[in-house]
């Protein structure tokens, strides 16, 4: 019987990098995760694979789970099964307009242990990402956080408008877009100048961030005209004028662009993170899943007989990893390669070989079969040369067939399979809406499976306008065969090359 505990975790304002280390640690050991509308869903990947996920989101004034119901869920789940570890994931900080205090009191009254893990508040993070310091020497040394909508059951306001209007340099209103006309009129009524600069920061710290500036006199009209919606922070004060000089987040090369990453979930992180760093909103749509081969005996036999081969040719990072992992299970290591030479197709594959203790003898400059073959011929590959290709089951036959045409004895051994991924219905909806700007493909299988997963969905609006970005010529050929128009292709056929090509294309378009 475990000791029940609930962690009240502040997930921060939305940027996954702003989640605290302790918050991630608590999330990883949780058996149940209760999360809300403002908590970035990418945080859920930090939870254990068997964790129960419960959504209790509340959005504006629409009908969702009530606070009393949330309190009951936390108590019930903590007690369930004799005691469980529960993570309550909340946007921003639990104790800054997050109603975390109410949840903590409910747990206290139920006799359930809890811990509070503070989070970075959107009250200062969103302005910072918009280039607005909430305090600044020579401008203001004080600030206030104020709720933009109070308890609707109250008959009077608890906000000290008279004091707030003139006694505080910077005022940050949470959830105040709906009541913006009242907020601005109250501040002006009690003495704040109509010329005071104001900024609205929507979806602050995320790639969806939008910033609208004005003054107390006109910001409400500007927001109405722009259709500016929640969730947003309203910043009132002279510090807003610094935005013109200090805005940084919205100047990144891919800011405002939505990019679909079609790699497997296990491999997507590097590409996703680097695109996010450039300002993109990344939608992961795993079109493939890497799986073990149907049988290991052919791989093990190749490893046992590695000495008979003149060349071992690795065509992908996955091929290297699966081959070496199987060697390790057989208590073998890089010494098995003592009698043969190694080729790696592509710099990423070469780098992985080096990490595994083998420096490739040949890394082709050209990744098409014809260019690869020319390099092999220069290195004596020909009649009677024994070649081993550990690769994906579904890989193209061009390379082995071309080598055989020149007399080589080629053994192709599948060390892994690429199977159809799960995709993501939410991403398909975005594709159908036409709100995706870039689709990335890192292999032919990602293209083929993308088209399979999109069957029955009208993604034509997106395909007409989105940039299709390919990692190399083979992937591009597959995309064109399936009717896609490739807009950009990496010069270096790596993740870094793909990102560089996308960034350069976007730069040319601006």
DSSP string, 241-255: GGHHHH--GGGSTTT
pLDDT at res. 140: 95
Same domain, yes or no: 406 and 305: yes
Q: Is 36 a catalytic residue?
A: yes
Neighbours of 500 (CB within 10 A): 15
Cβ pair 34, 77 in contact under 8 A:
yes
- CATH code at position 272: 3.40.50.10090
Integer Cα distance of 132 and 236 in angstroms: 11
Same domain, yes or no: 375 and 407: yes
| Distance between first and last Cα of the chain | 61
Residue 153 has pLDDT above 80, yes or no: no
Catalytic residue among 58, 178, 222, 289: 58
294-303 mean pLDDT? 96
Phi, psi of 380 (to 5 degrees): 90, 10
Residue corresponding to tokens 């799960």: 422
Same domain, yes or no: 141 and 228: yes
Integer Cα distance of 476 and 454 in angstroms: 18
* 396: confidence class by pLDDT, cuts 50, 70, 90: confident
Q: Is 1 a catalytic residue?
A: no
pLDDT at res. 233: 96
Same domain, yes or no: 272 and 384: no
Residue 371 has pLDDT above 80, yes or no: no
* 155: confidence class by pLDDT, cuts 50, 70, 90: low
pLDDT at res. 166: 93
Residue 432 has pLDDT above 80, yes or no: yes
Helix axes 180-189, 219-226, angle to 10 degrees: 170
The SS3 assignment for 290 reads strand
Among 188-197, 357-366, 414-423, the range with the most confident prediction by mean pLDDT is 188-197
**C-alpha R_g of the chain:** 28
**Helices (H) then strands (E): counts for the chain:** 19, 20
pLDDT tens digits, 56-104:
876 544 457 899 999 999 999 999 998 999 999 999 999 999 899 999 9
* 148: confidence class by pLDDT, cuts 50, 70, 90: confident
Domain end among 103, 119, 135: 119
- CA 1 to chain CA centroid, nearest Å: 37
462-467 mean pLDDT? 90
Percent with pLDDT over 70 in the chain? 95
Residue 269 has pLDDT above 90, yes or no: no
The DSSP letter of residue 280 is: P
pLDDT at res. 370: 66
What tokens were used for 309? 């081969």
Mean pLDDT, the chain, rounded, equals 91
What tokens were used for 496? 């870094």
pLDDT tens digits, 36-46:
876 666 788 88
Integer Cα distance of 88 and 75 in angstroms: 11
What is the number of structural domains in the chain? 4
Domain end among 70, 99, 119: 119
Same domain, yes or no: 405 and 298: yes
pLDDT at res. 67: 92
Same domain, yes or no: 427 and 283: yes
Cβ pair 181, 109 in contact under 8 A:
no
Domain end among 388, 418, 448: 418
Integer Cα distance of 88 and 35 in angstroms: 6
Same domain, yes or no: 185 and 244: yes
59 or 334, which is more confident: 334
Beta bridge partners of 41: none
Q: Beta-strand (E) ranges in 296-370? A: 311-314, 341-344
427-444 mean pLDDT? 93
pLDDT at res. 496: 92
pLDDT tens digits, 398-426:
889 989 999 999 999 999 999 999 888 88
Neighbours of 346 (CB within 10 A): 21
Which of left, alpha, beta for 279 (phi over 0: left; psi -120 to 50: alpha)?
Answer: left
Give Cβ neighbours of residue 417 (< 8 Å, ≥ 6 apart).
290, 291, 292, 293, 294, 392, 393, 394
Q: Which helix (H) or strand (E) holds 331?
A: none
pLDDT at res. 61: 44
Give the structural domain span for 154: 124-249
353-373 mean pLDDT? 85
pLDDT at res. 57: 76
Integer Cα distance of 223 and 214 in angstroms: 9
Neighbours of 301 (CB within 10 A): 12
CA distances for 173 relative to 139, 146, 230, 359, angstroms: 19, 5, 12, 58
Q: In what order do the strands lie in the sheet with 52-55?
A: 52-55, 32-35, 85-90, 5-10, 113-117
pLDDT at res. 60: 47
Same domain, yes or no: 298 and 282: no
Integer Cα distance of 200 and 116 in angstroms: 29
46 or 452, which is more confident: 452
Q: Is 58 a catalytic residue?
A: yes
207-228 mean pLDDT? 96
Same domain, yes or no: 28 and 64: yes
**DSSP per-residue letters across 122-178:** HHHHHHHHTT--SSBTTTBS-EEEEESS--TT-SS----HHHHHHH-SEEEEES-ST
Integer Cα distance of 300 and 469 in angstroms: 37
Integer Cα distance of 36 and 57 in angstroms: 4
Catalytic residue among 15, 36, 93, 437: 36
Same domain, yes or no: 229 and 134: yes
pLDDT at res. 128: 98
Among 24-28, 62-66, 431-435, the range with the most confident prediction by mean pLDDT is 24-28
Same domain, yes or no: 239 and 199: yes
Catalytic residue among 15, 19, 143, 175: 175
Same domain, yes or no: 102 and 26: yes
Percent with pLDDT over 90 in the chain? 74
CA distances for 185 relative to 193, 205, 217, 380, 475, angstroms: 11, 28, 8, 83, 58
Query: Residue 231, preceding bond cis, omega within 30 degrees?
Result: yes
- What is the pTM assigned to this prediction? 0.76
Q: 381-400 burial string, b = 16+ CB within 10 Å, else e?
A: beeebbbbbbbbeebeeebb
């Amino acid at each position: 019987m475990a000791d029940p505990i609930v962690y009240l975790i502040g997930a921060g304002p939305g940027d996954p990098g702003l989640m605290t280390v302790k918050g991630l640690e608590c999330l990883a050991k949780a058996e149940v995760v209760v999360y809300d509308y403002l908590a970035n869903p990418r945080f859920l990947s930090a939870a254990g694979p068997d964790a129960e996920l419960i959504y209790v989101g509340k959005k504006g004034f629409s009908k969702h789970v009530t606070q009393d119901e949330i309190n009951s869920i936390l108590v019930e789940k903590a007690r369930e099964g004799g005691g469980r570890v529960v993570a309550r994931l909340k946007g921003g900080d639990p104790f800054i307009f997050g109603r975390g205090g109410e949840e903590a009191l409910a747990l206290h009254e139920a006799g359930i242990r809890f811990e509070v893990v503070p989070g970075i508040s959107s009250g200062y993070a969103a302005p910072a990402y918009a280039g607005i310091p909430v305090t600044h020497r020579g401008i203001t040394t004080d600030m206030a956080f104020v709720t933009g909508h109070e308890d609707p059951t109250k008959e009077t306001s608890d906000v000290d408008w008279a004091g707030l209007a003139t006694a505080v340099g910077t005022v940050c209103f949470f959830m105040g877009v709906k009541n913006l006309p009242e907020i601005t009129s109250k501040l002006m009524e009690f003495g704040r100048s109509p010329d005071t600069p104001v900024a609205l920061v929507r979806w602050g710290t995320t790639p969806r961030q939008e910033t609208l500036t004005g003054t107390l006199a006109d910001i409400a009209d500007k927001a109405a005209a722009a259709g500016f919606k929640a969730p947003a922070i309203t910043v009132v004060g002279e510090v807003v004028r610094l935005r013109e000089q200090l805005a940084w987040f919205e100047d990144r090369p891919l800011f405002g662009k939505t990019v679909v990453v079609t790699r497997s979930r296990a491999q997507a992180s590097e590409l996703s993170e680097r695109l996010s760093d450039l300002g993109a909103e990344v939608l992961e749509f795993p079109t493939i899943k890497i799986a073990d081969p149907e049988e290991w005996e052919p791989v093990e036999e190749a490893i046992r007989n590695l000495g008979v081969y003149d060349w071992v040719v690795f065509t992908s990072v996955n091929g290297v990893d699966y081959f070496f992992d199987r060697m390790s299970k057989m208590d073998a290591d890089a010494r098995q390669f003592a009698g043969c030479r190694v080729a790696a197709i592509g710099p990423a594959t070469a780098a992985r070989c080096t990490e595994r203790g083998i420096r490739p003898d040949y890394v082709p400059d050209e990744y098409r079969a014809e260019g690869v073959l020319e390099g092999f011929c220069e290195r004596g590959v020909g009649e009677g040369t024994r070649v081993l290709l550990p690769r994906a089951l579904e890989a193209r036959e061009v390379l082995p067939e071309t080598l055989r045409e020149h007399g080589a004895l080629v053994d192709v051994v599948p060390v892994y399979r690429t199977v159809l991924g799960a995709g993501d219905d939410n991403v398909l909806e975005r594709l159908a809406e036409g709100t995706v700007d870039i689709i990335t493909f890192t292999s032919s299988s990602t293209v083929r499976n993308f088209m399979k997963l999109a069957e029955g969905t009208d993604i034509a609006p997106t395909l007409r306008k989105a940039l299709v970005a390919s990692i190399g010529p083979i992937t591009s050929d597959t995309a064109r065969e399936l009717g896609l128009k490739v807009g950009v292709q990496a010069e270096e056929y790596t993740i870094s090359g793909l990102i560089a090509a996308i960034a350069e294309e976007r730069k040319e378009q601006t």
